[in-house]
Amino acid sequence: MVVKNLFASRLLGWFDAHARALPWRETRDPYAILVSEVMLQQTQVERVIPRWHAWLARWPTAEALAASSPAEVIVEWQGLGYNRRAVSIHRAARYVADHGWPADLTTLPGVGPYTAAAIGNFAFGHDVLPLDTNVRRVQERTGESFDASCAQALFDLGATICLARIPRCGECPLAAICLSRGRRYEPLRKQSRFEGSFRQRRAAALRAVAAGRDPGDDDAVAALVRDGLLTAEGGLPQ
């Protein structure tokens, strides 16, 4: 127990001095936190911050978003990638507008265990630790489980110090008691290139439709229809 408290106290002390200034950390609004968590799933923090502000300026509540059309949401999402995330947020907002926030947050469309844990912790104060890649990495390397109070600190440590391949052990507050101090790791398998990929063609086709142009790519359009991002007629869903 002494060691466990030492891990947490060192981590939280470091976080007090080095926490990233992220706007969604300044709210307990579950809707705002849902938007941030979904945007962050596949997009860098620096790109998310201005888009999160713009999204909430346009749709400040789940009810406001629910009243919009899928087409409006998809157009607003352009540039963030993985456009199905926009549809998921919209569907979740409509659920909340109709039924309120469920006790089991995975009931919400597109919300899995991690996002449910994040909303539960940061909005509702649930005693649950959201397990993303950064949190799992720190836990595996230290051999420590940590508790819900350490979530944001673990996010920042994993994102800035306990990096995937070459961790910055010399700057880590846990280095003196970490089982993996000084280790290096094999390169992670990289995601396939976006340039020239079918994902790029899909994104280009969706942008074209959103701008009122002919996408000129039947295969990409068919894939977008299967994902619910376009209608069977090739237009944005209304």
- Given the structure tokens 């962050």, which residue do they identify? 40
Nearby residues of 231 by Cβ (< 8 Å), 6 or more positions away: 225, 237, 238
Q: Checking phi first, is residue 214 left (phi over 0); if not, alpha (psi -120 to 50) or beta?
A: beta
Q: Which two tokens stand for residue 119?
A: 């909303």
Distance CA 118, CA 138 (A): 17
Max CA-CA distance within the chain?
Answer: 65
Q: Give catalytic status of residue 37 as yes or no.
A: yes
- 70-77 and 198-210 are packed helices; what angle lies between their axes, rounded to 10 degrees? 120
Q: Which two tokens stand for residue 13?
A: 């002390």
Q: Which two tokens stand for residue 45?
A: 């923090």
Distance CA 201, CA 207 (A): 10
Q: Residue 166: helix, strand or coil by DSSP?
A: coil
Given 26, 37, 46, 63, the catalytic residue: 37
Distance CA 219, CA 161 (A): 42
Q: Residue 71: helix, strand or coil by DSSP?
A: helix
Residues designated catalytic: 37
